[in-house]
Amino acid sequence: MSQARFTRRRRNLIARIRKLGLPALLVTDESNVTWLTGFTGDSSYLLIGPKLGVLISDTRYTVQIAEECSGLDVEIRDARRPMHDAIATVTTAAKLGALGFEAHSTSMATWERISAAIAGSNGGPELVSVGMVVNELRAKKDSGEIAEIRLAVHQAERGFAAMVSVLEADKTELEVAHELEHLMRRFGAEGPAFEPIVAVGPRAALPHARPGPTLIGESGFVLFDWGAKTTGGYRSDLTRVLLTSKIPPKLEAIYGVVLNAQRKGIKAIRPGATLKSVDRAARRVIENAGYGKFFGHGLGHGIGLDIHEEPRFSPVAEGVLEPGMVITVEPGIYLPGWGGVRIEDDVLVTRDGHEVLTSVPKRFEDAVVQIA
């Protein structure tokens, strides 16, 4: 991505900082630092305000910072100088009266160290907790980010198709998960967007099941939740259920309820729609079918540099959809002891509605596969 894009992002953030009445913000969320600067290393903070922009990092990244980002001052520390001391040095030089910090990504221990270091510098600025200001800006993707997410979807879909073609009944969930990761990398992904979920039969009742020793052929269906991460750091997130042998009783009915709920949720996506109204459009279908208590999580979440970003669909979510947001739609029904069904797609909010970015077939008859 061009440096102009990062400069524009920092400019937009500075406008938000001014509205908060603060002279500067300390950005500690690593994904936020990357989004604002282009720097892809870790353990680095960004101090930003109308009159300053300083990337605080360490000697491991001196060359990398020069290669990846420009237009910023840099404060490099070594192993003998902890991060909080480097922050104190920069804030003292800037003569700040107050300093905002990202409470969601700053632990109490880190806050105490920073506070003590700053206080030791002639009293130091007042530390002010702010909301997820950068994360809110990140919710609307630009054209480059949308292109990266499309690529992540493509890599995930190609890897999944290749995995299905070699799926075998005597492979374990864990073996299949590793094969899926490998195949996504073969199609250009840096790696998985998260550890894939492969859950056979009753284990599909666990929304975040970890792949284990259960054999694929031990039940008539398998739930897959997977995604790819591009070399640019952007992610995709999909879920499908495959029917691998004799279809268990009531599976088709439950699958139909979940698919209908997902379609209703997607149909409700448009600029100006409230987050809770989209969640409600899908959740109502599941509740009317008598499975409301078996769908406990929110309908979906934003994706981008992180697998879970703003905005989020839920019954209590505040806010509205805007063009450029990319969010998952993933209703599910989970019956303990029996199994679960979840169907998930990635959806872009457009100027006049929405676009489903994912294309893996999801009709019930499409879910039936032949395995060796």
The pLDDT value given to residue 249: 86
The pLDDT value given to residue 226: 98
The pLDDT value given to residue 248: 86
CA-CA distance, 331 to 319, in Å (whole number)? Answer: 20
CA-CA distance, 255 to 285, in Å (whole number)? Answer: 12
CA-CA distance, 313 to 323, in Å (whole number)? Answer: 16
The pLDDT value given to residue 1: 60
Neighbouring C-beta atoms of residue 336, cutoff 10 Å:
10
- Of 196, 243, 241, 239, the C-alpha closest to 219 is 243
The pLDDT value given to residue 70: 82
CA-CA distance, 121 to 125, in Å (whole number)? Answer: 9
CA-CA distance, 176 to 170, in Å (whole number)? Answer: 10
**Residue written as token pair 């990202």:** 102
Please report, in angstroms and rounded to a whole number, the separation of the first and last CA atoms in the chain: 44
Beta bridge partners of 269: none
The pLDDT value given to residue 336: 97
For the record, the structure tokens of 160 come out as: 């999944």
The pLDDT value given to residue 276: 98
Tell me the whole-structure pTM to 2 decimals: 0.95
Domains along the chain with CATH numbers = 3-138 (3.40.350.10), 143-367 (3.90.230.10)
The pLDDT value given to residue 283: 98
The pLDDT value given to residue 120: 67
What mean pLDDT, rounded, does the chain reach? Answer: 95
- Of 28, 43, 25, the C-alpha closest to 79 is 43
The pLDDT value given to residue 114: 87
**3-class SS of residue 287:** helix
Contact 285, 264 (CB under 8 A): yes
For the record, the structure tokens of 71 come out as: 């237009």
Phi/psi at 20 (5° precision): -80, -10
CA-CA-CA-CA torsion for 287, 290, 293, 294, nearest 10 degrees? Answer: -100
DSSP class of residue 65 equals H
The pLDDT value given to residue 123: 66
Question: 35: part of which helix (H) or strand (E)?
Answer: helix 30-37
For the record, the structure tokens of 82 come out as: 């902890």
For the record, the structure tokens of 315 come out as: 């019954």
Which residues of the chain fall short of a pLDDT of 50?
none
Neighbouring C-beta atoms of residue 302, cutoff 10 Å:
23
